[in-house]
Structure 1
Amino acid sequence: MRESDWLYPVVNLLHLLGLVLLLGAMLFLDLRLLGLAPRVPLGLLAPWLTGFAVSGLLIQLASGLALFAADAMALIGNRLLQIKLLLVLFGIGNAGLFRWRFSRVLPKWEIVPLPARMQAGLSLCAWLSVMAAGRLLAYF
């Protein structure tokens, strides 16, 4: 990655694409779970957005690993990167827990139960924090 004029910027753009797919999908899904656009059926929206989010996450993980490898020595002890990675793990764990707890009943919801709304709020905070931490890495 260091020897190519194009590889690092292309991988960085892929990382941004993954961010847009992941965060965009999670933003819409979490906001819907929190009560925005109640006429949009969750049973139709959730599987569609989940596919985008998973694709974005996979792109993020692959490109993030490549970006890390290009500058591992400088990043390995960076506290902000460590926080970002913990937030990513939290976000993935929260999404997995949500899916485990609610995937079968979600299509039937007329009103989203409080525990699901709380998890959606945590998800929104986690993924926005991941984005902020990732962007701030360029400055710290």
Structure 2
Amino acid sequence: MNDPLIERLADAVRDTGHPVTDTDRADLAAFLPLTREYAGTSGIVFDDTRALALAVHALAFVRRVRAAEHLDALDDQLAAETAPGRMDAVRTLIDTYCAPHGFHAHRTEVLLLALHFETAAQIAQQPTPQA
């Protein structure tokens, strides 16, 4: 079965120089369920915009794993913007995906993914405007 989020992502990047490949689809089909599981157990709900942003990040991430590429370090102070335990939980999520690929993601990958979850959690906590 096709994952609707992967299809939305493929549609969004179709006309770029790097459309979604079959390999990307397979890797995303392995990685995105891990993100959904963590979001579900953490009570985090992604709206459509945040879900697509997460999928775009996931696409770049799985490609970096395949290419054994690492991102440059970010200011560690950004980790202070995440909920307690989020960095450790996201590290576990990333390690679960990376282990079979023989890849160890640097802290930057963990931080960037954790910030996606943090943003979604904070948006969900904002009060909705009354009509």
Q: Same fold (TM over 0.5)?
A: no
Higher CA-based Rg: 1
TM-score by length of 2: 0.32
Whose relative contact order is higher, 1 or 2, with alpha carbons under 8 Å and at least 6 apart?
Answer: 1
